[in-house]
Amino acid sequence: MDTQVSSLQQQCRRLLQTGCFAQAREAYARLIELSPDDASAHLELGLVLLKLGQYDRMTGPLTRAMQINPRLAPAARLLGTAYARLGRLPEAIMAFRKAVDIQPENSDTRFQLATALHQSGQHREAAELFERVVAKHPDYPDAYTGLGLARARLGEYSAAIDAYRQAIEQQPDSARAWNNLGNALRMQNDLTGAIDAYRKALQIQPDHATAGSNLLLALNYLPGLTQESLYEEARQFEQRHLQNIDTTDIAFQNPRTTDRKLRVGYLSPDFRAHSVAHFTRKLFAAHHRDAVEVFCYSNVLQEDPVTEEFRAGADHWIRVRRLSDEKLADRIRQDRIDILVDLAGHTADNRLLTFARRAAPVQVNWLGYPNTTGLGAMDYRITDAVADPPGETDRLHSETLLRLPTGFLCYQPGEPWPDVAAPPSARNGYISFGSFNALPKMTPAVIELWARLLQTVPDSRLVLKSAALADDTTRRRYLDAFSEHGISAQRLELLGLVPGRLAHLELYSKVDIALDTFPYNGTTTTCEALWMGVPVIAL
């Protein structure tokens, strides 16, 4: 028996080392039958399954390896990897913590733990762990990238930019690092720097679709850029990223009969606490269920209670974040979706490359992005005559525009919400203007105009709230920008994020009149202000 086991061990490792993973899987299964308490065999089978992409099958042998040898750090680390690939982040974090406890000097394991913590929303601890990794290994560009991502989620954009620049210094040809740098610069309203970073990412990796989408999003903020130029950039996105996608042989199996329910699919990364949710959370329940069957394709990374609201309103809920664009398109075709609705456009975590593969006979864009996708495969875009006046913007869309008669937005905040407060001027004795829009919308032209408004209205104040204003460097830059136009810091109140939706809405009690931004107008913030009884003016 010992000779047979030894021979089989050698065969297994030879198959593993030579990349014959399917054969190795079967050989390890035989080895474990002969030697069920061999922790190394269970560990190595887990590695083989990782190479085969069979993450759901990894947990069994790796858990068994840990039962046999609780101090087997590689098994704990690989188990964490399996759970992370499956999106089971709490279990991944637990396994990585175990591996770190066994081998605290292993920076790679600490990096994996930090990454899982970041993905689960525990950004502060993640940042601290990434800091420990780069302190020990200053030549670890991926750890600098992770540090940048965690700092950015904490609103610490200056620190994020420093981390990304460290990563770029070590890997100047990393398109990912340049794209991340662009995101942080955009959030600080350095639009020129952001656009340059995105273009650098595309120069390095022309098919980096995320950088392509981010570039288009950033261009929407630029004052003076014509709609014609934006349209051309959007069409270039298709030329750059979709030139090798062939949809000519796609044949849909949807029955062409009228005596069945219409299958409507919604694809979004924002079925969660997100601005898009304020316009969609009641949508699915409002469908006529005798005529429509609702499929939700969720690309959400971190689910929350709002996600549960969406799931409850759908007939079918499919998590798709770990599916490739090609496999996702195949899945949607298998579900025989008649109409597929994109709720993201070129915003974060979009799946436009799935739409480019013609996943459904009819494909529609709505809500999340204020412009054309540029995709020839996107048939329609839902809008209205105010947002897109007839005869003015049709030619600047790859989609056919469907104008709803009473507006394309239907705002519905989650319950409960605060009571409408009395105008703060009644107690302050002066007018408080305000804007809670993202900083990229507050361009130099916007700041100049708002400064003129403050000069025109004696003793008036301006309340600004945005995630990036939690960053000291960003705050100072905005104070300096207003100071250049004669507005002192005493007339400005700069607020970062506050915890919770109710606390956010309550801050409108500080504002008498909300100000809209340009050229990228507010959407959610405008609706919030009106809901809270605050008038909005566009200058």
pTM, full prediction: 0.93
**How far is C-alpha 123 from the geometric centre of its chain's CA atoms?**
15
pLDDT confidence tier of residue 6, bands split at 50, 70 and 90: confident
User: Cα-atom radius of gyration of the chain, to the nearest Å?
Assistant: 26
Contact status, residue 45 vs residue 26, Cβ threshold 8 Å: no
Q: Output the DSSP codes for 101-118.
A: HH-TT-HHHHHHHHHHHH
Q: What angle do CA 86, 74, 146 make, to 5 degrees?
A: 60
User: 318 pairs with which residues across the strands?
Assistant: 297
d(CA 272, CA 114): 23
Identify which has the larger pLDDT, 197 or 34: 197
pLDDT digits (tens, 9 = 90+) for 184-206: 999 999 999 999 999 999 999 99
Residues of the chain with CATH 3.40.50.2000: 424-537
CATH of 424-537, one of 3.60.10.10, 3.40.50.2000, 3.10.20.520, 2.40.50.140: 3.40.50.2000
Start-end of CATH 3.40.50.11380 domains in the chain: 262-404
Kindly state the greatest CA–CA separation across the chain: 94
List the beta bridge partners of residue 404: 384
Cα 23 to Cα 21: distance, rounded to the nearest angstrom? 5
Q: What is the pLDDT of residues 202-253, one digit of tens each?
A: 999 999 999 999 999 999 999 989 999 999 999 999 999 887 888 888 989 8
How far is the C-alpha of 435 from the C-alpha of 453, rounded, in Å? 13
**Angstrom distance (rounded) from CA 327 to CA 322:** 10
In this prediction, residue 1 carries a pLDDT of 53
In CATH, the number for domain 262-404 is 3.40.50.11380
pLDDT over 90 for what percent of the chain? 89
